[in-house]
Structure 1
């Protein structure tokens, strides 16, 4: 069970890291990312940050963005990720720690 859970976690991390923000050099005239890509980039920011430590081609933040709407989406995405990954469901209750 633990191996399957670890395999799913690794697969999910790799999938999310594949969506990391980076400049598309082939589509310079394309529309710049706005709120929705900023929301997604903020949500995957913790994973993207870890990948960016080992890969110089991965950026945490899309520099060529649409402006304030991208920034707003990015911050909301970070807050959403923090609320999902740091929810009480993932932490142990106080009574469990005292039982040890």
Structure 2
């Protein structure tokens, strides 16, 4: 790994250590969205975002949710299912 990449990775890790979630945003109720709803919300994110520009009743992220598992599903939905991943965009040659 190049020194610049290692430094950037270290800075990102330090910044992510400062992140926290508001306790009111996490719910363990049976009806709170979990992993599967996070996956779905991540997948439909582009459409929900466009809709949210015109309708304040449309949200792109469910609050409250079950916390880390919802976030993980949301992340997977955006990057893998939503086509947001840049890994396949490398040119071949």
Work out whether the TM-score is over 0.5.
yes
Between the aligned partners of 1:83 and 1:42, the Cα distance in structure 2 is 10
The equivalent of 1:44 in structure 2 is 44
Identify the residue that residue 83 of structure 2 maps to in structure 1.
82
Shift of residue 47 of structure 1? 0.5
Superposition CA RMSD, Å:
2.0
Partners of 2:48 and 2:38 lie apart in 1 by 13
Q: Deviations over 1:69-88 (max 9, x none)?
A: 0000000000121259xx77
Q: Could you tell me how far apart the structure 1 residues matched to 2:84 and 2:67 are?
A: 25
The structural deviation recorded for 1:52 is: 0.2
> Cα deviations across residues 35-83 of structure 1 (Å, max 9, x unaligned)?
0000000000000000000000000000110000000000000012125
Residue in 1 that maps onto 2:26: none
TM-score by length of 2: 0.56
Unpaired runs of at least 5, structure 2: 1-28
Q: Name stretches of at least 5 consecutive residues in structure 1 with no aligned partner.
A: 1-28, 89-100
Q: 1:54 maps to which residue? A: 54
Structure 1 runs of 4+ with >6 Å offset = none
**Counterpart position of 1:25:** none
Q: What is the number of equivalent residue pairs in this alignment?
A: 58
